[in-house]
Amino acid sequence: MSSVKAILQLIVDRPSITAAEIADELDMQAKNVQPLIHPYLNDGRVKSEKKPAVEGGASVNHYFASQTLLKEVDGVKQIVTRRKPALAPATVGDGRFSCGFFTDGRLSIVKDRKAIDLSREETTQLLAFIDAINIERIVGAA
């Protein structure tokens, strides 16, 4: 898969992905992401939204796929809802770990620069699995 095609697939699969996350996934430099997808940004197939990296910090671009790009990459038209946190993201310790549920049923878990974004179906499957195990016994609670 070409670099551009791999980048576009990541943008489709993980809405709100950053250049740093794309670069990490594809073993490339973050500064090379923007030039590769520039034509897609210009024609509107990829949308970019600046958001602060950390509270009070510099802004970074988060990338989203348009319906046109979704159709091109996946071959079917999909309805994409903007991911809004249903609950404020939980942050533990030094702030390098956070997780949050979104109004579209997705779950996002972030530690350092690694992120896991689960679809509604994957989130349901994970919660069913967690519900089926004895957490107290695993973590050693009395």
Given this model, what pLDDT does residue 79 score? 39
Residues 102 and 88 in one domain: yes
Residues 86 and 119 in one domain: yes
Residues 17 and 72 in one domain: yes
Q: What is the spatial distance between Cα 142 and Cα 63, in angstroms, rounded to a whole number?
A: 45
Band of residue 141 on the pLDDT scale cut at 50, 70, 90: low
Residues 35 and 13 in one domain: yes
Given this model, what pLDDT does residue 36 score? 92
Domain containing residue 115: 82-142
Give the count of domains, the chain: 2
- 60 pLDDT exceeds 80? yes
Identify the residue with better confidence: 131 or 93.
131
Residues 120 and 107 in one domain: yes
Identify the residue with better confidence: 86 or 115.
115
Q: What is the mean pLDDT of residues 117-140?
A: 77
- 44 pLDDT exceeds 50? yes
| Domain final residue pick, 80, 104, 132 | 80
From first CA to last CA, the distance across the chain in angstroms is 51
Q: List all residues 6 or more positions away from 46 whose beta carbon is below 8 Å from its beta carbon.
A: 8, 11, 37, 40, 63, 64, 65, 66, 69
Residues 1 and 70 in one domain: yes
Q: Are 100 and 87 in contact (CB under 8 A)?
A: yes
Given this model, what pLDDT does residue 84 score? 45
